[in-house]
Amino acid sequence: MDNNELNRRIRYSLQLDDATAIRLMQLGGVEATEAQAAAWRTRESEAGFEPCPKAALSALLNGLILDRRGPPPAGAPTAAPVEKHINNAVLKQLRIALSLRADDVHELIIDGGGKLAKSEVGALFRNAEARNYRVCGDQLLRWFLAGLAARRET
């Protein structure tokens, strides 16, 4: 998934409008205008398309964590480790921001139309160097976000 699609799907799943997305990006350390926020959620084939920078997407997720969970405790590491796979990083950040447990993540994937064993969910959150690490594919992340959107609508 490209960053615009990821941005669009995250914002739809969490029902974030442009003003809220801008506020979260500012919390995450990136300044954005309303025009940029709107352009970063458009499709490539639509007018006004502007590629969403990785820094803006990361700032949106970091801002969401700060907004929902508050600042980290004193003495805690401030920067998250760099993930090899963007989908795993997005899934981890959403899990942290929304205070989800592995069972919750599994339920959201199932609610979104996916098929995944409960035991496989933990592998998504392991260190990339771990033996049982599993890469989160685009479809798996789509199922998670679809499940999250379905839960928000009810």
* 79-100 confidence digits (pLDDT tens): 555 567 899 999 999 999 999 9
Predicted confidence at residue 77, as pLDDT, reads 64
Task: Identify which of 152, 116, 154 has the alpha carbon closest to the alpha carbon of residue 10.
Answer: 152
- Asked if the model's pLDDT at residue 149 lies above 60, the reply is yes
Predicted confidence at residue 74, as pLDDT, reads 79
d(CA 89, CA 49): 25
Q: What percent of the chain has pLDDT over 70?
A: 94
Residue written as token pair 């205070």: 99
The residues spanned by each domain of the chain are 3-69, 86-153
DSSP letter at 81? Answer: P
The pTM (predicted TM-score) of the whole model is 0.89
Question: How much is the CA Rg of the chain, to the nearest whole Å?
Answer: 15
Task: Identify which of 38, 39, 36, 46 has the alpha carbon closest to the alpha carbon of residue 16.
Answer: 38
